[in-house]
Chain A
Amino acid sequence: MASTIRVRAISSGDTTEVQALVQHPMDSGFVKGAQGALIPAHFIQQLTFEYDGKTVFLADWGPAVSKDPYVKFTFKGAKKGDDLKISWVDNKGATDATTAKIQ
């Protein structure tokens, strides 16, 4: 299966701008389904970005983050062609990970 994570990491000299888009329902637990019953909360809790064995960005998310979440940040010290490792874990224990090349 294709990865749920889409990443674009672009180096411009000293800094690298990272944009990530994750496919996830991010159910808040407050929305009712077609049967009238509440859809249980189902959301990503932690999204981690690692470069060179170190965490460069860590997101702690609650259910108020939008469906198919998007995040953008910038960090220093990486070069073109280096690997950036991205992983997430949700409140049901599901996880996914991918590695992106910095462009």
Chain B
Amino acid sequence: MITADDRFSATRRLILKGVGSVALVGLGNAPFSVAFAAANDKYPEDAFKQKSDADAIKSLYGKTAEASDKVKLDAPEIAENGAVVPISVATTLENVTSIAFLVSENPNALAASYVIPEGTLPSVANRLKMQKTTNVIAIVEAGGKLYSATKEVKVTVGGCGG
């Protein structure tokens, strides 16, 4: 009896050790990638780290957006696969300098931000991941002001893992 117990606890110790080292490897990688990205001067690192949509917009632009019917957000009513949701935006506003896409209840709301130089049309299509049913927000910066459009997309299977 006693030997059996000893053997059992020895295996258990080994298993625990294994779990511990896996966790350490995981932790070791994360700070490295963050540190590297910070060296990239123009990339809006902080905005991509914000959890809520409001904080991400504030971090990216330093102001708030007003809803506008001149921003046309095109997204599906229902996305069967949250890993690939086709979303596009176009606007009739003039002097557009940037366009951003946010997904409200993703772990980090900001998904993509595009710089639109003069001579490029204010229209972008891309594909985003969505964790669950939530609002997709498109932000258009035109003439120094922010305009937005929001649409709820129902997600059947989430695209952020777990």
Within 8 A of B (CB), among A37-91: 37-38, 40-42, 45-46, 54-67, 69-77, 89, 91
B137 CB to nearest A CB, Å: 12
Main secondary structure of the interface of B (DSSP, over half): mixed
Size class of the A contact interface (CB-based, 8 Å)? 35 or more
Residues on B with beta carbons closer than 8 Å to the beta carbon of A61: 111-112
Let me know if B43 and A45 touch, CB within 8 A. Answer: yes
Let me know if B111 and A65 touch, CB within 8 A. Answer: yes
Let me know if B123 and A73 touch, CB within 8 A. Answer: yes
Let me know if B129 and A65 touch, CB within 8 A. Answer: yes
Number of A-B residue pairs having CB atoms within 8 Å of each other in the complex? 131
Let me know if B120 and A74 touch, CB within 8 A. Answer: yes
Cβ-neighbour of B161 out of A30, A57, A77 (below 8 A): A30
In Å, the complex CA distance between A18 and B110 comes to 24
Let me know if B111 and A40 touch, CB within 8 A. Answer: no
| Stretch of B4-12, B22-30, B143-151 that contacts chain A | B22-30
B122 CB to nearest A CB, Å: 9
Give A contacts to B, CB under 8 Å.
Answer: 15, 28-32, 35-38, 40-42, 45-46, 54-67, 69-77, 89, 91-93
